[in-house]
Amino acid sequence: MKEPRPMQTSAKARNASIRWLAVVLIVWVIGLLAAYYQVHLHELTRSLSALLALPGLLVELAAAVPAALMRGAPDLLTVALLMLSAGAIGRLMLRRLDLTPLSAAERAAFAPLVGLGLLSTVALLLGLVGLFQPLILWAVVGLALIIGLRDAGRWLRDLGAALRDLRPRSGWGWLLAILAGVLLLLALLMALAPPTAWDGLTYHLVAPQRYLEQGRITGHADNPYLGFSQLVETLYGVAFGLFGRDTSAAVLHGGFGLLGLLAVMGLVQRSAGTRRATLSAWLAAAILLSAFSLWWQFGIPYVDLAVMAYSALVLSALTIWRRTQRPGWLIAVGVVCGLLLSTKYTSGALLIAVLVLLLIRAPRHFIQNALLVGVPAVIVFAPWMLRGLLLYQNPVYPFVFGGLEWDAVRTTALSTAGQGIFTRGEGWHLPLLPVTATLFGVHKATEYDFSAGIWLLTAPLLLPLAWRHLSAEARTLARDAALLLVPLLLFWIGMAIISRVGAQVRLVMMALPIAAVAGSLALMGLRSTYRDVRWLLTGAFTLTLVLTGLLALDEVHRSDALDYHRSGDRTTYLATQLGVHYAAMQQLATLPAGSHIRTLWDPLGYTCPPHLTCNADLLFDHWARPLKNGSTPAEIFQWWRQTDDYILVFDAGYAAWLASDPHFATENALFPQHHPDWLRPIWTDDIAYTLYTWRDDLPGD
């Protein structure tokens, strides 16, 4: 008997290995799909409902899109001018850095993101000296464009080259590009509608509203969220100033998201190292957009897409530093990390992850490299720390050092420490956090508060299976991504352990573009192994992306954005979307001009009628805090009587907070016992709100 040749044996072993890989992937993908849609059956139902109603929805869409673009033209123009000016000044600032190693898409994203950071910082400094006024702010934008006029042309050429380079070269690539374009168009329709998202109405839009009204940036003890870093909110103030339209904020936030997508796609295209590099780029973008909650962010005025965009730049710059070892790229990493800190405190975890990567990549030069990153980060973040110090007596208000009207009770109100994942009996989630967040994360529900889709958090876990099928350059990029993702995962786990909201995926938004890069490499590597694997992954991913698109279409339809764009009736739209809250605000609008209204258990302050002053209950502690600090109910009412003309009580919010708040349950329970002695109801909707004024028979009247 002849012995088999070594080459034949090796080929048989390789084929057997690939077949086993195919079996593992089939079981994994089918199991993940089944488990995901068992929990997210409501999403699947909504997607299928949209599919059945697709002809009618397309007719509505065809009528709404032209109207939206015409009505939203001032917002689109505002953001376009900001981006052009930022691209110009950003390209000018980056002149001394050799950008040629970057792809055109990365260059097209890098310049405006850096420029937007500079414009926001200048607007901050102007605001601190009382010059936060539209004419002055837009003079700065115009001056930046004039100074960097030649660089504006360079940036526009980079943008044009990026669009040409990212032109799909395969049928699946075109399909991914079309689906991504549809998702972005749907998000734009939401962005151009009046803002209704919770955090936007609580503080993201309140900040620019107040700064423009006052003409300066000042401290606001009643809204502690305004003490946080506000790179994006300050830019919202600039955007408002051109045409006085708050709808420009969500469009600008979506613009940050587009730049983030460009950065991710350019990085993958440059580093995938295969003939299908462009397909890999579109796959990375589609992985991000397949997450419903991330897609939803493109249509609302939050700050998370700025975090996503800057995080993508960090990975891009690190890959160039690894190749060239030029210190300028580490300085660039530090600048971007400073911009991240200026946007959202929790994104500072990425700076720690960068330091871990530097320690592993170049341990002998760690101190030098850490300084090259850390010093620029501190310098860029310094104006925001100065703002915190001047206005709130704390450079990182309200954390660590307390600050403006901050005390232990407010720390308790803001804190969710001690209510982490073990308290809920879900400790088994921790070692599987990306998977459990995928399966159990529901949009605006559950502790994860994020519908991540099937691929965003799980595809990176497939990298070990795809490793041998990746090119050398793709493996190096995957290592860089992993070196950042592991510390960020540990940060996420730590937050989930100590805090009730710590498991929220939004807290690790800085990890999502990096996860999309790793996931794209993994899926493209696996697609190259075996034809059945390629068809399985292609089919499963396309199916889930189509379902996300249908879900997004259903969301836009349910949000009444299509009706709004056809009619232009802002009042009807807000009444439909905000419900009883908007009805209460309409009732407040009938009150005398100059009246002061204190709201209880309702934090939404942006919708307050402009001729009134509203003191919203941001931390739900207006009543409980003074009680905790030793005041009596009578003293509280006497104090309020000196400052407030009316009290608006969100009765439904009170009932919900009374049942769920572990900190102030005892104090909140006292409110119904005492308020009838001081307050007289003058209006109620019999559902959720009651408006009170002061009784006529109080002592001293």
> DSSP of 53-80, one letter per residue?
THHHHHHHHHHHHHHHHHHTHHHHHHHH
For CA atoms 427, 429, 432, 437, the dihedral sign is negative
DSSP string of 317-382? HHHHHHHH--HHHHHHHHHHHHHHHHH-GGGHHHHHHHHHHHHHH-GGGHHHHHHHHHHHHHHHHH
- DSSP code of 607? T
Report the amino acid identity of residue 547: L
Do residues 347 and 377 lie in contact, with contact meaning Cβ atoms separated by under 8 Å? no
| Cα–Cα distance measured from residue 659 to residue 297, given in angstroms and rounded to the nearest whole number | 30
Name the percent of the chain in helix, strand, coil, to the closest 5: 70, 5, 25
Beta strand extents in 363-445 (DSSP E only): none
Report the amino acid identity of residue 55: P
- Residues in Cβ contact with 635 at an 8 Å cutoff, skipping those fewer than 6 apart: 626
- DSSP code of 225? G
Beta bridge partners of 646: 597
| Cα–Cα distance measured from residue 357 to residue 486, given in angstroms and rounded to the nearest whole number | 10
Closest CA to 82 of 299, 289, 234, 271: 234
| Cα–Cα distance measured from residue 435 to residue 665, given in angstroms and rounded to the nearest whole number | 35
With a cut of 50, which residues of the chain have pLDDT below it? 1
Q: At what angle do helices 104-128 and 149-165 cross, to 10 degrees?
A: 140
Do residues 621 and 409 lie in contact, with contact meaning Cβ atoms separated by under 8 Å? yes
Do residues 116 and 82 lie in contact, with contact meaning Cβ atoms separated by under 8 Å? yes
Structure tokens given for 200: 């936007």
Do residues 229 and 380 lie in contact, with contact meaning Cβ atoms separated by under 8 Å? no
State the pLDDT at residue 22.
77
Please state the separation of Cα 58 from the chain's center in Å: 29
State the pLDDT at residue 538.
93
State the pLDDT at residue 567.
93
Backbone φ and ψ of 100, nearest 5°: -60, -30
State the pLDDT at residue 477.
95
Report how far apart, in Å, the C-alpha atoms of 394 and of each of 227, 384, 403, 416 are. 9, 10, 5, 21
| Cα–Cα distance measured from residue 264 to residue 258, given in angstroms and rounded to the nearest whole number | 10
| Cα–Cα distance measured from residue 609 to residue 587, given in angstroms and rounded to the nearest whole number | 10
Do residues 488 and 252 lie in contact, with contact meaning Cβ atoms separated by under 8 Å? no
DSSP string of 386-437? HHHHHHHS-TTTTTTT--TT--HHHHHHH--BT-STTTTT-GGGGGGHHHHH
| Cα–Cα distance measured from residue 263 to residue 513, given in angstroms and rounded to the nearest whole number | 9
Backbone φ and ψ of 598, nearest 5°: -100, 130
DSSP string of 99-159? -TTS-HHHHHHHHHHHHHHHHHHHHHHHHHTT---HHHHHHHHHHHHHHTHHHHHHHHHHH
| Cα–Cα distance measured from residue 120 to residue 237, given in angstroms and rounded to the nearest whole number | 9
Place of tokens 């395969």: 170
Do residues 182 and 556 lie in contact, with contact meaning Cβ atoms separated by under 8 Å? no
Do residues 416 and 502 lie in contact, with contact meaning Cβ atoms separated by under 8 Å? yes
| Cα–Cα distance measured from residue 241 to residue 239, given in angstroms and rounded to the nearest whole number | 5
Do residues 689 and 578 lie in contact, with contact meaning Cβ atoms separated by under 8 Å? no
- Residues in Cβ contact with 205 at an 8 Å cutoff, skipping those fewer than 6 apart: 195, 233, 236, 246, 249, 301, 606
Backbone φ and ψ of 443, nearest 5°: -60, 125
Apex 496 CA angle, 494 and 502, nearest 5: 110
Report the amino acid identity of residue 584: A
Report the amino acid identity of residue 459: A
State the pLDDT at residue 5.
54
3-state secondary structure of 596: strand
Largest CA distance in the chain: 114
Beta bridge partners of 344: none
- Residues in Cβ contact with 620 at an 8 Å cutoff, skipping those fewer than 6 apart: 413, 601, 603, 653, 657, 661, 664
| Cα–Cα distance measured from residue 560 to residue 354, given in angstroms and rounded to the nearest whole number | 43
Structure tokens given for 613: 């002053």
Q: How many CB atoms lie within 10 A of CB 617?
A: 23
Do residues 110 and 94 lie in contact, with contact meaning Cβ atoms separated by under 8 Å? yes
pLDDT in tens, 115-125: 999 999 999 99
Beta strands 679-684 and 689-694: pairing type? antiparallel
State the pLDDT at residue 418.
60
3-state secondary structure of 690: strand
